[in-house]
């Protein structure tokens, strides 16, 4: 019984960590689907960096895009976009 309780406690902690952070290393990132397979970590001409988590993402597969000082800013997930919108001055 004690092991079931510990399992539930760890599960709840994991849930909150994933919900309130980017979650990029556990297959998160909205429509993009996580980091993927071989060769996808190499930046290309269509690749941009999410200012919140630093993940390289394809412009065409970005979760969202906004403009800051006239320049486009791309996001990998809803959580990253939300964090950026809460404190845009924190990110370059």
Delimit the domains of the chain by residue range.
Answer: 2-90
The predicted pLDDT at position 12 comes to 79
Q: How far apart are the first and last CA of the chain?
A: 49
Is the separation of the CB atoms in 52 and 83 below 8 Å? yes
Tens-digit pLDDT profile for the chain (92 aa)?
888 898 888 887 777 666 666 554 444 444 444 444 444 455 556 899 999 999 999 999 899 998 888 899 999 999 999 999 998 888 87
The predicted pLDDT at position 57 comes to 92
Beta bridge partners of 65: 74
Q: Copy the structure tokens of residue 67.
A: 């403009």
CA distance 61 to 4: 39
């Amino acid at each position: 019984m004690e092991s079931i309780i510990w399992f539930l406690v760890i599960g709840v902690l994991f849930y909150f960590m994933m919900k309130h952070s980017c979650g990029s290393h556990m297959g998160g990132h909205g429509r993009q689907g996580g980091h993927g397979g071989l060769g996808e970590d190499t930046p290309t001409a269509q690749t941009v960096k999410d200012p919140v988590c630093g993940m390289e993402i394809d412009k065409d597969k970005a979760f969202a895009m906004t403009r800051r000082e006239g320049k486009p800013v791309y996001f990998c997930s809803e959580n990253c976009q939300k964090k950026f919108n809460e404190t845009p001055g924190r990110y370059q």
